[in-house]
Chains A and B, each alone.
Chain A
């Protein structure tokens, strides 16, 4: 494969704002960067073709798995019900989970925001006298920038998920929250491993995987603390559930002395049985598998009669803006997200602008819905414009979150918060003209004759629109005029055949 010319848009650590306050990206900064990066990525047709190829296999396997469901659409209703039930009784679920988990010998910690979560985890790591920390994939740790905090305190931390490990070596955040390095080519990975691990160059994905496997094995054995996320918190049994394919989370929660899991408060489900629905659906929607390779439940540290496992287990429950989404009944259901990533995989915007352009922890349609809530609508509203409102995301969502309508709601809310005077004036003028047929006809006539001039003048308001779109020439006659003088008698009589075609 020829070397890939990198887009000039540089992937960057996401510019997060803790719900507590501190801001790294100004309102216009985030939007400007989005527009700039989107333009660069869209221009890079090789990159887009590469992403499309990577996703083609996903579509095939996903469709194959969906076909094994006796009814996927009804199963989605049930998955929605399981998460709806837990989210709408979240206080009860959290208390039950915490009580049951602590009865199993683990410790629950509560964190209002990212800073509090970092402090809690640092304290656990310090108390354990940790020398080495191993981590399995967890987007919530990306959300709170845990690795930076651990490294600032002098702790070495290694990402064990292959994709996350590659991103860690590249110094980049994940490109996609399920497929972290789907934008990276094997040649680049080979060079990266050559440089950091001293391995021989290879074009074989299998050999590259084995290089990472060999490198990681000592680290599992030597690490004192293992950090994971959690896909579900089961209130009934006080267990966390972790979904993965590589076995790295299994090893991370088996070998180190201390296991810490960080989870958003919305991860609750009420019953163990709910997982009999959600685990297969998460796998089918996320990666097109019947079930991912390892789906593991942990109810606490090693029990007395067990021969291995950590001596301590901690679960850190993170709010960080989630209660604010809960408080908005219209968008409450976005907390039902199980982070399968299906909405990214089908999104025409994601496929064209790529994951880094969003500048958020959670990319794609669902990220565009929740990020403005987590970080302030003012700064991140441009993400709700990053949608064609085609609804592919909503159709793909295994728990039936109404994603594209939420993007529309965010647009409405943003306009309410900061009205655009010019836009409002424009709409009023159009309404006034459209309500008066003669004025409308006259206006249309003027517009048809002056369209070429508008294109040529490149007025500031139209410039961005025309830059990426072909504006067709104006017809000589108006639609109403054409309709009035339509020629075909069949059309006039409105006769159609059985298929609705004009006869």
Chain B
């Protein structure tokens, strides 16, 4: 018997012995300081989707576009990301260029994207496009190190996003729509440009947006980015910029 069949046989054998059902103890806990619950958890008829059961109890994502925007801005601030809302592409350019000058950026990396391209045009520094024709057709044996070095030397990565999540202050990027896997994590600064329509309430809504956009064929990588890279490994003290970007800018246009 090969390992696959052996493991599956063990698992099936183990599951022939019935076990207890899922725990539903929330009601019992209400006497111990928790607020009394207005309605019991609808778990009567299993199987119920865990998400449907959880949705009313998870952190709020905002009911209206205005609430979602406010929540997103608030969460990004708490995460030590920098949030800007600008009215036009022109204003976004002014903002980005001033950041570039202030930080003396020499080269920024970007990918083809309907928002990124116009905002970047005229930036006072060199640019490096990660998804150019050369990158897409390069020989796998040689494609890697030169391109990785080029990206590693950039001061910032500018990307679009698939969604912004109000509930958690997250930015959803994918390998298919945001310039691959490394653009949003290798350079020391990550700038995200987005439109207000891309704001969704919760993680679950972001999954819905993904399904709507990509159908069954999801990109090979999807990443929820929640603030700049961080670590607390040394004495549990927060430090930003562990391995990923030290700074995360979210620029909302419109």
List the interface of chain A (C-beta within 8 A of B).
54-55, 57-58, 68-82, 84-85, 88-91, 94-95, 98, 104-105, 109-112, 116, 160-163, 166, 179-182, 184-186, 189, 205-206, 208-210, 212-213, 216-217, 220-222, 237, 239, 245-248, 250-251, 253-255, 257, 265, 271-277, 279-280, 287, 289-303, 305-309, 311, 317, 319, 323-324, 326-327, 329-330, 332-333, 400, 402
List, in ascending order, chain A residues with CB within 8 A of B50's CB: 78-79, 81-82, 85, 271, 273-274, 277
Complexed CA–CA distance, A98 and B224 (Å): 24
Interface: B101 (CB within 8 A): no
- B35 CB to nearest chain A CB (Å): 8
A185 near B235 (CB under 8 angstroms)? yes
Known contacts A247-B242, A326-B11: does B54 contact A295 (CB below 8 Å)? no
Extra pairs beyond A68-B60, A299-B219, A306-B219 (18, CB < 8 Å): A54-B235, A69-B58, A73-B34, A75-B54, A75-B58, A77-B25, A77-B26, A84-B22, A161-B233, A210-B241, A251-B243, A272-B207, A276-B207, A277-B51, A280-B203, A307-B135, A323-B7, A324-B14
Interface: B20 (CB within 8 A): yes
- A346 CB to nearest chain B CB (Å): 15
A309 near B231 (CB under 8 angstroms)? no
B6 near A311 (CB under 8 angstroms)? no
B11-33 residues at the A interface, CB under 8 angstroms: 11-15, 17-26, 29-30
A250 near B244 (CB under 8 angstroms)? yes
Interface: B64 (CB within 8 A): no
B7 near A110 (CB under 8 angstroms)? yes
B144 near A257 (CB under 8 angstroms)? yes
A94 near B11 (CB under 8 angstroms)? yes
Interface: B103 (CB within 8 A): no
List, in ascending order, chain B residues with CB within 8 A of A246's CB: 229-231, 242-244
List, in ascending order, chain B residues with CB within 8 A of A89's CB: 15
B4 near A110 (CB under 8 angstroms)? yes
Cβ contacts A to B, 18 pairs, < 8 Å: A55-B236, A70-B57, A71-B56, A77-B22, A88-B19, A89-B15, A161-B233, A182-B236, A213-B241, A245-B229, A254-B182, A280-B59, A290-B169, A294-B229, A297-B222, A302-B175, A305-B136, A309-B221
List, in ascending order, chain B residues with CB within 8 A of A69's CB: 57-59
List, in ascending order, chain B residues with CB within 8 A of A180's CB: 233
Complexed CA–CA distance, A111 and B227 (Å): 36
B29 near A307 (CB under 8 angstroms)? no
B148 near A255 (CB under 8 angstroms)? yes
Interface: B70 (CB within 8 A): no
A301 near B25 (CB under 8 angstroms)? no
**Partner-binding segment picked from B40-48, B83-91, B120-128:** B40-48
Contact of A291 among B8, B144, B180, B226 (CB under 8 A): B226
**B143-154 to A contact mask, C-beta < 8 Å, 1/0:** 011011100100
List, in ascending order, chain B residues with CB within 8 A of A185's CB: 235
List, in ascending order, chain A residues with CB within 8 A of B49's CB: 271, 273
Known contacts A79-B50, A80-B23: does B225 contact A74 (CB below 8 Å)? no
A74 near B26 (CB under 8 angstroms)? yes
List, in ascending order, chain B residues with CB within 8 A of A301's CB: 220
Chain B binding site: helix, strand, loop or mixed by DSSP? loop
A309 near B233 (CB under 8 angstroms)? no
List, in ascending order, chain B residues with CB within 8 A of A84's CB: 21-23
- A323 CB to nearest chain B CB (Å): 4
Known contacts A90-B15, A307-B179: does B58 contact A277 (CB below 8 Å)? yes
List, in ascending order, chain A residues with CB within 8 A of B225's CB: 293-294
B243 near A160 (CB under 8 angstroms)? yes
Complexed CA–CA distance, A71 and B26 (Å): 9
Complexed CA–CA distance, A323 and B14 (Å): 7
Complexed CA–CA distance, A405 and B231 (Å): 34
Complexed CA–CA distance, A277 and B226 (Å): 16
Interface: B53 (CB within 8 A): yes
Interface: B140 (CB within 8 A): yes
List the interface of chain B (C-beta within 8 A of A).
2-4, 6-8, 10-15, 17-26, 29-30, 34-35, 37, 41, 43, 47-51, 53-54, 56-60, 75, 79, 111, 130-131, 135-136, 140, 144-145, 147-149, 152, 167-170, 175-176, 179-183, 185-186, 202-204, 207, 218-237, 239, 241-245
Contact of B180 among A248, A294, A308, A326 (CB under 8 A): A308
Known contacts A280-B203, A303-B219, A333-B20: does B233 contact A77 (CB below 8 Å)? no
List, in ascending order, chain B residues with CB within 8 A of A179's CB: 232-233, 236
List, in ascending order, chain A residues with CB within 8 A of B30's CB: 73
Complexed CA–CA distance, A116 and B224 (Å): 33
- A421 CB to nearest chain B CB (Å): 31
Known contacts A74-B41, A81-B50, A251-B243: does B203 contact A91 (CB below 8 Å)? no
Nearest A residue to B47 by beta-carbon distance?
A85
B239 near A205 (CB under 8 angstroms)? yes
Contact of B37 among A71, A82, A110 (CB under 8 A): A71
A265 near B239 (CB under 8 angstroms)? no
Contact of A307 among B3, B58, B136, B185 (CB under 8 A): B136
A162 near B130 (CB under 8 angstroms)? no
* 8 closest Cβ pairs, A-B complex: A247-B244, A78-B54, A82-B50, A246-B242, A329-B19, A254-B181, A163-B233, A327-B14
Nearest A residue to B228 by beta-carbon distance?
A293
B180 near A307 (CB under 8 angstroms)? yes
Complexed CA–CA distance, A162 and B238 (Å): 13
List, in ascending order, chain B residues with CB within 8 A of A333's CB: 19-20, 23
- B54 CB to nearest chain A CB (Å): 3
Known contacts A68-B59, A77-B53, A179-B236: does B149 contact A221 (CB below 8 Å)? yes
B182 near A303 (CB under 8 angstroms)? no
Complexed CA–CA distance, A319 and B5 (Å): 12
List, in ascending order, chain B residues with CB within 8 A of A305's CB: 136, 176
Contact of B221 among A80, A253, A292 (CB under 8 A): A253
Known contacts A69-B57, A74-B54, A280-B59: does B168 contact A80 (CB below 8 Å)? no
Complexed CA–CA distance, A104 and B48 (Å): 28
Nearest A residue to B75 by beta-carbon distance?
A290
Nearest A residue to B203 by beta-carbon distance?
A276
List, in ascending order, chain A residues with CB within 8 A of B12's CB: 91
Complexed CA–CA distance, A290 and B165 (Å): 12
Nearest B residue to A185 by beta-carbon distance?
B235
A250 near B185 (CB under 8 angstroms)? yes
Complexed CA–CA distance, A78 and B47 (Å): 11
List, in ascending order, chain A residues with CB within 8 A of B145's CB: 221-222
A295 near B57 (CB under 8 angstroms)? no
Complexed CA–CA distance, A239 and B229 (Å): 23
B54 near A277 (CB under 8 angstroms)? yes
- B131 CB to nearest chain A CB (Å): 4
Contact of A308 among B7, B130, B203 (CB under 8 A): B130
Complexed CA–CA distance, A327 and B11 (Å): 8
Complexed CA–CA distance, A162 and B242 (Å): 8
